[in-house]
């Protein structure tokens, strides 16, 4: 086995062990603080994500994602760091930033339509 392969495998194994230890500690702390099973932590997170958007949260998220898209547009178009085919990298960032923005707008409109 080559040195590079050994380093790769050790790094991969270490990251898996680190992730498992992090999850174990997070679950342990949740159980001790709340006294409920750790499976409810994920259920609570999903409930928090799916709660109705407030107007201020909608505006904040729109500004945050919109500014990221504008920055990525600046990097792709006006900076001279990316030339030729390498401009596809920031254009991919724009597309990957546009998808959450689209879903945020769609969610907000559906929520407004349901409340009217």
Cα 13 to the chain's mean position, in Å? 24
How many CA atoms lie within 13 Å of 69's alpha carbon, on the beta-carbon side?
15
Domain residues for the domain of 86 are: 52-116
pLDDT at 56: 94
Indicate if the pLDDT at residue 77 is higher than 80: no
Percent of the chain at pLDDT exceeding 70: 100
Same domain for 64 and 27 = no
Residues 32 and 65 in one domain: no
Q: pLDDT tens for residues 44-76?
A: 889 988 889 899 999 999 999 999 888 888 877
User: Can you say whether residue 35 is alpha, beta or left, with left for phi > 0 and alpha for psi between -120 and 50 degrees?
Assistant: left
The answer to whether residue 42 scores a pLDDT higher than 90 is no
Domain count along the chain: 2
Same domain (yes/no): 36, 59: no
Looking at the structure, tell me whether residues 61 and 22 fall in a common domain.
no
Q: What pLDDT, on a 0 to 100 scale, did the predictor assign at position 82?
A: 75
Place of tokens 């991919």: 92
Same domain, yes or no: 63 and 39: no
For residues 6 and 59, membership in a common domain is answered with no
pTM above 0.85, yes or no: no
């Amino acid at each position: 086995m080559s040195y590079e392969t050994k380093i790769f495998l050790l790094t991969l194994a270490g990251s898996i062990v680190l992730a498992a230890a992090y999850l174990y500690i997070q679950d342990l702390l949740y159980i001790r603080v709340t006294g409920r099973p750790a499976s409810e932590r994920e259920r609570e997170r999903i409930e928090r994500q799916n709660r109705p958007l407030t107007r201020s949260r909608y505006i904040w998220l729109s500004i945050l994602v919109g500014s990221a898209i504008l920055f990525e547009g600046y990097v792709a178009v006006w900076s001279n760091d990316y030339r030729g085919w390498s401009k596809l990298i920031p254009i991919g960032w724009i597309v990957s930033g546009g998808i959450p923005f689209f879903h945020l707008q769609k969610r907000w409109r559906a929520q407004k339509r349901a409340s009217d």
